[in-house]
Amino acid sequence: MKALAKMRPGPGLELIETEVPQPGPRDVLIRVTATSICGTDVHIYRWDAWSQQRIRPPLILGHEFAGEIVAVGEEVEGLEVGQSVSAEGHIVDHTCAACRAGQPHLCRNARVIGIDRPGAFAEYVCVPAENVWVNAPDVPPEIASLQDPFGNAVHAVYTFDLAGRSVLVSGCGPIGLMAIPVARVAGARLIIATDPNEQRLALARRMGADVVLNPRRDEVAEQVRALTGGDGVDVVLEMSGAPTAIRAALEALRPGGQVAALGLTSEPIRLDWNDLVVIKGATVQGIYGRKIWDTWHRMRALLQTGAVDLSPLITHWLPLEAYEKAFRLLMNPGDEVVAKIILYPNGMD
| Number of other CB atoms surrounding residue 133 within 10 Å | 20
∠ CA(248), CA(251), CA(257), 5° rounding?
A: 120
Torsion angle, alpha carbons of 190, 310, 335, 345, to 10: 160
On the 0-12 / 13-18 / 19+ scale of CB atoms within 10 A, 90 is: buried
The closest alpha carbon to 28, from 147, 97, 113, 100, belongs to: 113
Phi, psi at 287, each rounded to 5°: -120, 125
Distance CA 86, CA 320 (A): 18
Dihedral angle over CA of 77, 71, 107, 8, nearest 10: 170
43 is catalytic: yes
Selected catalytic residue, list 18, 43, 228, 283: 43
Q: Does 40 participate in catalysis according to the annotation?
A: yes
The CA-CA-CA angle for residues 298, 299, 303, to 5°, reads 120
Question: Cα angle vertex 148, ends 142, 150, to 5°?
Answer: 80
Task: Please pick, among 40, 159, 194, 295, the residue that the annotation labels catalytic.
Answer: 40
Q: Annotated catalytic sites, by residue?
A: 40, 43
